[in-house]
Amino acid sequence: MTFRDILAREFLGNPLAAWAAAAGILAGVFAALVVVRRLLVRRLERTAPASSTMADDVFLDGLRRTRKSFLFALALVAASLALEIPESRRTLIEKLATVVALVQLASWGTGAIAFWLLRMTRERQASDRASLTTLNVIAVVARVVLWALLFLLALQSFGVDVTALITGLGIAGVAVALAVQNVLGDVLASLSIALDKPFVIGDYIVVDAFQGTVEEIGLKTTRIRSLTGEQIIVANAELLKARIRNYQRQTERRVAFTLLFPLETPPDAIERVPPLVRETILENSPVRLDRVHFAAITDQALAVEAVYFVLDANHAVHVEIQQRINLALLRRLSAAGVRLAVPTRSVVVKGGPDAETEATAAAVA
At 171-228, the pLDDT tens digits run 766 666 666 567 777 777 877 887 778 888 888 899 888 889 988 887 788 899 998 8
Domain closes at, from 249, 273, 305: 249
pLDDT of residue 362: 41
pLDDT confidence band for 292 (50 / 70 / 90): very high
pLDDT confidence band for 299 (50 / 70 / 90): confident
Give me the domain span that covers residue 261: 253-336
| Higher-scoring residue by pLDDT: 257, 62 | 257
| Higher-scoring residue by pLDDT: 237, 344 | 237
Separation CA 135–CA 128 (nearest Å): 11
Q: Is 364 left (phi over 0), alpha (psi -120 to 50) or beta?
A: beta
Q: Would you give the DSSP letter of residue 339?
A: P
215 shares a domain with 198? yes
pLDDT confidence band for 329 (50 / 70 / 90): very high
pLDDT of residue 125: 65
pLDDT of residue 12: 55
Quote the mean pLDDT of the chain: 80
68 shares a domain with 139? yes
pLDDT confidence band for 267 (50 / 70 / 90): very high
153 shares a domain with 73? yes
Separation CA 76–CA 288 (nearest Å): 79
Query: Are 173 and 101 contacting, i.e. CB atoms less than 8 angstroms apart?
Result: no
297 shares a domain with 197? no
pLDDT of residue 11: 55
pLDDT of residue 357: 44
In the three-class reduction of DSSP (H, G, I as helix; E, B as strand; rest coil), residue 23 is classed as helix
205 shares a domain with 244? yes
pLDDT of residue 14: 61
Separation CA 29–CA 38 (nearest Å): 14
Instruction: Centre a 10 Å sphere on the Cβ of residue 40 and count the other Cβ atoms it contains.
Output: 14
Domain assignment present for 359:
no
- What is the average per-residue pLDDT within 63-88? 82
pLDDT of residue 333: 93
| Residue-wise burial string across 85-123, b where 16 or more C-beta atoms lie within 10 A, e elsewhere | beeeeeeeeeeebbbbbbbbebebbbbbbebbbeebeee
| Higher-scoring residue by pLDDT: 15, 307 | 307
236 shares a domain with 144? no
pLDDT of residue 360: 44
195 shares a domain with 168? no
Instruction: Centre a 10 Å sphere on the Cβ of residue 59 and count the other Cβ atoms it contains.
Output: 15
Domain assignment present for 189:
yes
pLDDT of residue 115: 81
Separation CA 25–CA 78 (nearest Å): 7
pLDDT of residue 279: 94
Residue 291: pLDDT above 70?
yes
| Higher-scoring residue by pLDDT: 360, 41 | 41
| Number of domains comprising the chain | 3
Looking at mean pLDDT, say which of 43-47, 130-134, 163-167, 169-173 comes out highest.
43-47
271 shares a domain with 220? no
pLDDT over 90 for what percent of the chain?
A: 23
pLDDT confidence band for 290 (50 / 70 / 90): very high
Domain assignment present for 105:
yes
Domain assignment present for 70:
yes
153 burial via Cβ count (<10 Å: 0-12, 13-18, 19+)? middle
Instruction: Centre a 10 Å sphere on the Cβ of residue 132 and count the other Cβ atoms it contains.
Output: 17
Least confident of 113-127, 231-245, 263-277: 113-127
195 shares a domain with 123? no
Domain CATH for 274: 3.30.70.100
Separation CA 225–CA 213 (nearest Å): 5
Looking at mean pLDDT, say which of 32-46, 107-121, 122-136, 170-184 comes out highest.
32-46
pLDDT of residue 287: 93
Residue 354: pLDDT above 60?
no
Domain closes at, from 134, 160, 179: 179
Structure pTM?
Answer: 0.50
213 shares a domain with 115? no
Separation CA 359–CA 365 (nearest Å): 19
Give the residue among 283, 293, 273 at the shortest CA–CA distance from 337: 273
Give the residue among 278, 271, 270 at the shortest CA–CA distance from 329: 278
Domain assignment present for 358:
no
171 shares a domain with 56? yes
Separation CA 3–CA 121 (nearest Å): 65
Domain closes at, from 194, 223, 249: 249
Domain assignment present for 58:
yes
Domain assignment present for 317:
yes
126 shares a domain with 84? yes
Separation CA 261–CA 298 (nearest Å): 10
Instruction: Centre a 10 Å sphere on the Cβ of residue 185 and count the other Cβ atoms it contains.
Output: 16
Q: Would you give the DSSP letter of residue 354?
A: T
Residue 356: pLDDT above 70?
no
Give the residue among 68, 20, 19 at the shortest CA–CA distance from 41: 68
Separation CA 81–CA 97 (nearest Å): 14
Domain assignment present for 154:
yes
Return the axis-axis angle of helices 132-157 and 162-179, rounded to nearest 10°: 150
pLDDT digits (tens, 9 = 90+) for 15-62: 667 777 888 888 888 899 899 989 988 888 888 777 777 777 788 888
Domain CATH for 227: 2.30.30.60
Query: Are 215 and 225 contacting, i.e. CB atoms less than 8 angstroms apart?
Result: yes
